[in-house]
Amino acid sequence: MKGLLKFIAGLGVLIIVLIAAGGAILGMFFDPNEYKPEIEKVALEKGGVELKINGDIGWSVFPWLGLEVNKIDVKFPGKEDLASLNQAKLSVRLPALMSGNVEMQSIVIDGLKLNLVKTKEGATNWTASAPSGQSKSTKQSADSTPETAEVKETTAESPNNAPLNINIDSIQITNAIVDLLDHSAGTQTTLSDFNMTSGQVVTNAFFPAKLNFNAVQKANGKEQIKVIASLSADFFLDLDNQLYKIKGLQSTLNLSGEPIAGKSLELSTQADIEADLTKQLLTLNSLQMNIANLKAEGNVSVNDFANPVINGKLSVAAFDLNQLLKAVGQPAVKTTDPKALSAISFNTELSGPANTVTAKTLSLKLDKTNFDGSAAFNMANGNITLNLQGDKLNADSYMPPTTKDSKATGSAKNASTSSGKGSKAPAIVYSKDPILPIDTLKTLELDASVGLKALHVSKMDVNNIAVKVSAHGGLIKISQLDANLYSGSVKNKITVDVRKKTPVISSQKTVSGIQIGDMLKEMADFDQLTGALHSSSNITVTGNSVHAFVNSMTGKAKVNMKDGELHGIDMAQTVCQGMNNVGSLGIDTQEVDRSTPFANMGASVKIKNGIVDSRDLKAALDAMVLSGKGKVNLPKQNLDYRLGFMVEKNLFKETCSFPNKLEGVEIPIDCKGSFNTDPAQLCKPDFSFIGDAMKKQVKDKVKKEKAKAKAKVEEKIKDKLGDKLKGLF
């Protein structure tokens, strides 16, 4: 038995010696350079590529099976040059390879250049042209090849196979260039100075590697952005268990170019990454990202690559938005409060069902305002779900500041508008420019609920704001747009339908009990009107421009104001005094009160194709009644409206010695003309009411004389009947 073993061992040694000797002899007497034409021919026939070997080929057989090639050019027939290589070295240790392991000396790839070109027609130089005579069966056979290979590979794998061990002294890729020229998009992207080096590459143990490159993107020949990148980490490969790790990843990107206004911006990232392909689990731990003054960190895991389930935590520390904008070469956001946008932070917990990115808890802080809620993005259909509730926000702090120039411009406009008696303002031009982003709205998939407990905007306080929006398939519904303000409430419902060629927008609005005096006092420092405002409207417009909206506006509306008062003017006093002066009655009127209370003021309107028709304007003022009816034509920008004042006794209180002949007579004012007519010329009184007053006076006098005559007749009859009755008794 021992003799047999010695014989086998001796035979093995003899075989190794023979292989070594044969390899040495083969290397001495066989020159691969003599076979360059044959190699190039085989590459064309079998690989379909034109291969040009311009340098020497070196090789070794034992104990290292090695190959060295120099100066190679590759391209597909009839197409532009695809790739070139200065030098490549590769050697594998044969004894280790025979035992199922891979031991290699340093892999060297130097001067690799890839030249990728895409034509305006979409053809590329990195794919071979399909042979004209290729049949469907051939294509199907070619298509099925990968699956067959995969089946064979799967079959070949078995738990009994010995683990594959890799041991490579190092990998060196130097001076590589990748150039992508896309004529169809007019862009060119160049990756240059690509260098990668590694330590000893082994399986089941960490090894170091470094990577750096420069990248430039041009559009129509003009440089857009430049990137200088570097990356380093320790890598772990467990090929048998399909487990891969990256530890201590450090990457830096230095960006410059047009998008950041020619400035230089550094983006750095740190992370530990692990991918377990058997479990289909990817984890990113200790993730940190820094860009200017923005710092983000967190941990993220992705489970089940086919239907990913994402979990983890992400947070962004408080940062100043304007500092970030300055760093990326963008203009600052100018606000009334210089401290606004200086403390923005964000954090979330990711956890949700498969195929979604779900922020289970979401916290956003905007300076002194806190928002809490949740959000989700469905990767299958792009649907966004948002639920966000805030506490209080002072929107005035984020408004653009008022400058001296803007004030001067406003004053100049007012002056030009009011200058010149009887001057006309320019007619309003309704724009035909599109307003709604139709294509975006058609693809929008959204379900959002946003609330805010308190909002201060334009010196107005609004509470309990609630907004609910759903958008699916081009139908956008704002089912709730509500708020409470000044002891009242506003409720809105809006629908935007862009499913057909012409958009349709409809709105329903209800205003209940808003104290108009309090609102005007805070918004405009106007303290001349009080009352509780109530209104409702149901309006529909079609089209996608202001011009289309105005010409298509159709619907109904009602407005009512109760228990109010108009300060600073006594309507009854003013009308009374004016009528006395017109009538030259010479009555000395004295102002009793400088206010006009009203019990009820309201009107309803019908709107059709932009024409507003009102027939029932009524206002019960102090000692008088105001009524009105007429039309306002928005498309033609004109109005024809008639106001009527009728003085009554003791409606609230008498404030003027008003001539009896005008009591109960409507005093009309006609407002006719275009919107650009001077208001002083727009509305004029209709003096026909004087004739009506005289007719009324005559009727009243006749009626009074008839009453007197009737009374005398009745008195005589009574006297005569009285004498006869006395005689009778």
**Which residue(s) pair with 427 in the sheet?**
none
Where does the pLDDT of residue 578 fall: very low under 50, low under 70, confident under 90, or very high at 90 and above?
Answer: low
Burial of 43 (0-12, 13-18, 19+ CB in 10 A): middle
Cα 727 to the center of its chain, rounded Å: 106
Q: Say yes or no: 305 and 386 in one domain.
A: yes
The answer to whether position 175 is within a domain reads: no
- Here the tokens at position 684 are 């004029």
Q: For residue 621, list its beta bridge partners.
A: 598, 624
Same domain for 377 and 487, yes or no, is no
Determine the 3-state secondary structure of 23 from DSSP: helix
More confident residue, 474 or 28: 474
Residues 347 and 297 in one domain: yes
Determine the length of the chain.
729
* Per-residue pLDDT at 462 exceeds 90: yes
Mean pLDDT comparison of 611-620, 655-664, 691-700, highest-scoring range: 611-620
- The residues pairing with 606 across neighbouring beta strands, listed in sequence order, are 556, 613
**Angle value at C-alpha 613, between 608 and 615, nearest 5 degrees:** 145
Distance, CA of 235 to CA of 248 (rounded, Å): 9
67 confidence band (pLDDT: 50, 70, 90): confident
Give how far Cα 292 sits from Cα of 93, 264, 551, Å: 49, 10, 51
pLDDT above 80: residue 356:
yes
367 within domain boundaries: yes
pLDDT in tens, 522-538: 777 767 678 888 999 99
Query: Which one is predicted more confidently, 619 or 340?
Result: 340
In terms of domains, do 470 and 561 share one? Answer: yes
Structure tokens at 343: 């403390």
Lowest-confidence region among 158-172, 275-289, 446-460, 633-647: 158-172
Residue 361: its H or E element: strand 356-366
Mean per-residue pLDDT for 578-591?
Answer: 49
At which of 402, 418, 453 does a domain end?
A: 402
Q: How far apart are CA 251 and CA 266, in angstroms?
A: 10
Q: Quick check: is 306 in a domain?
A: yes
Verify that 472 and 538 share a domain, yes or no. yes
Last residue of a domain, one of 513, 538, 567: 567
Neighbours of 410 (CB within 10 A): 11
Query: What distance in Å separates the CA atoms of residue 638 and residue 633, rounded to the nearest whole number?
Result: 5
* Position 201, amino acid: V
Percentage of the residues of the chain whose pLDDT score is greater than 70: 74
Q: Are strands 113-118 and 294-303 parallel, antiparallel or unpaired?
A: unpaired
Of residues 313 and 619, the one with the higher pLDDT is 313
Residue 154: count other Cβ atoms within 10 Å of its Cβ. Answer: 9
Do 482 and 389 belong to one domain?
A: no
How many domains does one find in the chain?
2
Rounded to an integer, the average pLDDT of 317-330 is 92
Which tens digit of pLDDT belongs to each residue from 465-503? 999 999 999 999 999 999 999 899 999 999 999 999 999
Same-domain check for residues 350 and 448: no
User: Which of 551, 567, 583 is at the close of a domain?
Assistant: 567
pLDDT higher than 60, residue 728: no
Name the more confident of 541 and 409. Answer: 541
Using the 8-state DSSP alphabet, how is residue 77 labeled? Answer: T
Per DSSP bridges, beta strands 369-378 and 113-118 are unpaired
How many Å apart are CA 434 and CA 664, to the nearest integer?
52
Please give the Cα distance from 174 to 9 (Å, whole number).
Answer: 44
691 vs 56, residue with greater confidence: 56
Domain contains 417: no
Give the ranges where 236-368 is alpha helix by DSSP (H).
Answer: 321-327
Position 332, amino acid:
A
Question: What value does the mean pLDDT take over residues 176-191?
Answer: 94
Q: Judge if 390 and 468 occupy the same domain.
A: no
Can you give the pLDDT at residue 350? 95
362 shares a domain with 308: yes
Whose CA is closest to 565, among 523, 525, 603, 600? 600
**CB proximity list for 673: less than 8 A, separation 6 or greater:** 638, 639, 681, 682
Stated pTM of the model: 0.73
Q: Looking at the structure, do residues 387 and 496 belong to the same domain, yes or no? A: no
Position 200 in a domain: no
pLDDT digits (tens, 9 = 90+) for 245-297: 999 999 999 999 888 888 889 999 999 999 999 999 999 999 999 999 999 99
Three-class SS of residue 426?
Answer: coil
Q: Would you say residue 14 lies in a domain?
A: no
Give me the residue label for tokens 């594998």. Answer: 92
Q: Quick one: which of 61, 59, 66, 68 has its CA closest to 18?
A: 61
300 has pLDDT over 70 = yes
Give the side-chain half-sphere CA count within 13 A for 120: 1
Residue 280, classed as helix, strand or coil, is coil
Taking all residues of the chain, what is their mean pLDDT, rounded to a whole number?
Answer: 81
pLDDT tens column, 388-447: 999 999 999 999 987 665 555 555 555 554 444 455 656 678 999 999 999 999 999 999
Domain region containing 535: 444-567
Rounded CA-CA distance 514/455 in Å is 16
Residue 416 lies in a domain: no
Is residue 110 pLDDT above 90, yes or no? yes
SS3 content of the chain, % helix, strand, coil (to 5): 25, 50, 30
Quick one: how far is CA 119 from the chain centroid? Answer: 34
397 and 454 inside one domain: no
Which residues fall within 8 angstroms of residue 455, CB to CB, at 6 or more apart?
392, 393, 395, 461, 462, 463, 465, 483
Name the E strands within 578-610: 595-608
Cα(498)–Cα(476) distance, integer angstroms: 8
Residues 475 and 548 in one domain: yes
Residue 355: the pLDDT is 93
Q: Read off the pLDDT of each residue in 102-122 and give the average, rounded to a whole number.
A: 90
What is the structure's pLDDT at 569? 52
Question: What pLDDT, in 10s, does the model give residues 599-608?
Answer: 678 899 999 9
The per-residue pLDDT for 671 is 85
Alpha-helical segments (H) within 363-508? 404-418, 438-443
pLDDT digits (tens, 9 = 90+) for 671-717: 888 888 876 677 777 766 656 655 666 666 667 766 766 676 667 66
User: Do 617 and 646 contact (CB within 8 A), yes or no?
Assistant: no
Distance of CA 461 to the CA centre of its chain: 27
pLDDT at 658: 53
- Per-residue pLDDT tens digits for 147-160: 444 444 444 444 44
Q: How far apart are the first and last CA of the chain?
A: 178
For residues 248 and 272, the answer to whether their CB atoms sit within 8 Å is yes
Model pLDDT, residue 163:
65
Residue whose entry in the numeric block shows the structure tokens 């792009």: 382
The rounded percent of the chain whose pLDDT value lies above 90 is 51
- Would you say residue 426 lies in a domain? no
